[in-house]
């Protein structure tokens, strides 16, 4: 029998800890705090495990970005496993992998992330369309956060392009200029349709673009939104939270990595990370009005 789903774990962890904060695990050897400098991969594992322990009371989820573990070479995945072992099974883990490929390759990615690594959710890019995402959605108890409006400056390059969205007009209908929609909203509309069929979709919407975040929430009132970009990338927490909340004052995971991981550079790094997580958790709650 399979265990609780991502959505069940998230709801529980979020309720227990009164938290919409997702702690990102993006460790870099060069940025380890002073006492761990030069300690290599073992020090990196110790660092992340201590960060997990310190932030656990304030986190509704963890989000390791696979890039930072792949960058460590062949042992990257085993190091990540050691870190994941420190996260209690009731707290969901989102593999930030930004995968997406033709169907049978996407299936292999889904096996790697859900079965080999045992993560509860994944980030996926939608450029290949439905068959590139469906293999992730086939795991009904897992969840796929699909990139919609990313937090980086280059997000404008493609995501703002006006496209003729089939969701905007009926099939075959003449589409006037007013029915053109920015690509990121076409993605939002399409994922809302996928959600009706699958029930395990979410969207990624950066805190650095609060207007776009609000437009996504308006079109997708019930989809879970993963919201990175607060802190180091300059997204304003309060504005982003207000833009992203659903009608029940929830529905978002505010993902923060560096502002927590590197809150302290000395021997107090774990304490400083815990404090940073607590402050973020509380600031999110204040913006929710709770």
Q: Taking contact as CB under 6 A, which single stretch among the options 3-11, 131-139, 176-184, 225-233 is the one that binds ligand OMP? A: 225-233
Rule CB under 6 A: choose which of 19, 55, 65, 165 binds ligand OMP. Answer: 65
Residue 212 in contact with ligand OMP, rule: CB under 6 A: no
Kindly state the number of chain residues that form the binding site for ligand OMP, as judged by CB under 6 A. 19
DSSP, collapsed to helix, strand or coil, labels residue 199 as coil
Interaction of residue 165 with ligand OMP, rule CB under 6 A:
no
Pairwise CA distance, residues 260 & 226, whole Å: 17
Of 110, 139, 257, 287, the residue at the interface with ligand OMP (CB under 6 A) is 257
| 120 near ligand OMP (CB under 6 A) | no
233 binds ligand OMP (CB under 6 A): yes
Name the E strands within the chain.
21-25, 61-64, 94-99, 121-124, 143-149, 162-164, 180-182, 201-205, 225-228, 252-256
Annotated catalytic, 98? yes
Closer residue to ligand OMP, CB minimum distance, 194 or 209 = 209
Q: Which ranges in 121-235 belong to alpha helices (H)?
A: 130-137, 155-159, 183-198, 210-219
φ/ψ of 86, rounded to 5, equals -85, -10
Q: How far is the CB of 270 from ligand OMP (least distance, A)?
A: 17
For position 263 contacting ligand OMP by CB under 6 A, the verdict is no
Cβ-based nearer residue to ligand OMP, 139 or 209? 209
Q: Does 204 bind ligand OMP (CB under 6 A)?
A: yes
Angle, in degrees to the nearest 10, between helices 237-244 and 210-219:
10
Rounded to whole angstroms, how far apart are CA atoms 282 and 280? 5
- In the block, residue with structure tokens 């815990």: 274
- Binding status of residue 96 toward ligand OMP by CB under 6 A: yes
- Catalytically annotated residue among 9, 34, 63, 98: 98
Distance CA 236, CA 276 (A): 15
What is d(CA 84, CA 46) in angstroms, rounded to the nearest whole number?
12
CB 126 within 8 A of CB 147: yes
Report the run of H or E that residue 240 belongs to, with start and end.
helix 237-244
Residues 24-43 that bind ligand OMP (CB under 6 A): 24, 26
Residue 255 lies near ligand OMP (rule: CB under 6 A): yes
- Which CB, 40 or 234, lies closer to ligand OMP? 234
- Which range binds ligand OMP by CB under 6 A, 99-107, 108-116, 186-194, 231-239? 231-239
Cα separations in angstroms, 97 against 36, 62, 103, 117, 164? 27, 13, 16, 12, 29
Which residues make up the interface to ligand OMP (CB under 6 A)?
24, 26, 65, 96, 123, 150-151, 204, 206, 228-229, 231-233, 255-259
Which residues participate in catalysis according to the annotation?
A: 98
């Amino acid at each position: 029998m399979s265990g609780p789903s991502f959505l069940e774990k998230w709801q529980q962890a979020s309720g227990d800890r009164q938290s919409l904060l997702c702690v990102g695990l993006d460790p870099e050897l060069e940025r380890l705090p002073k006492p761990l400098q030069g300690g290599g991969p073992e020090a990196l594992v110790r660092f992340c495990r201590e960060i997990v322990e310190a932030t656990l009371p304030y986190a509704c989820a963890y989000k390791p970005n696979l890039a930072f573990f792949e960058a460590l070479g062949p042992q990257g995945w085993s190091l990540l496993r050691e870190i994941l072992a420190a996260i209690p099974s009731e707290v969901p883990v989102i593999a930030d992998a930004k995968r997406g490929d033709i169907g049978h390759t996407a299936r292999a990615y889904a096996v790697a992330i859900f079965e080999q690594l045992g993560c509860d959710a994944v980030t996926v890019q939608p450029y290949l369309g439905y068959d590139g995402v469906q293999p992730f959605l086939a795991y009904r108890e897992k969840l796929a956060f699909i990139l919609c409006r990313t937090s980086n400056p280059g997000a404008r390059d493609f995501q703002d392009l006006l496209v003729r969205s089939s969701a905007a007009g009926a099939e075959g209908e003449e589409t006037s200029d007013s029915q053109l929609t920015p690509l990121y909203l076409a993605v939002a509309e399409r994922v809302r349709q996928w959600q009706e069929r699958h029930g395990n979709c979410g969207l990624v919407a950066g805190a650095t673009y609060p207007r776009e975040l609000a437009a996504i929430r308006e079109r997708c009132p019930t989809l879970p939104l993963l919201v990175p970009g607060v802190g180091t990338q300059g997204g304003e927490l309060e504005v982003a939270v207000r833009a992203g909340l659903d009608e029940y004052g929830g529905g978002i995971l505010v993902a923060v990595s560096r502002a927590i991981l590197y809150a302290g550079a000395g021997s107090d790094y774990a304490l400083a990370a815990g404090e940073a997580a607590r402050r973020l958790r509380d600031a999110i709650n204040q913006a929710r009005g709770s």
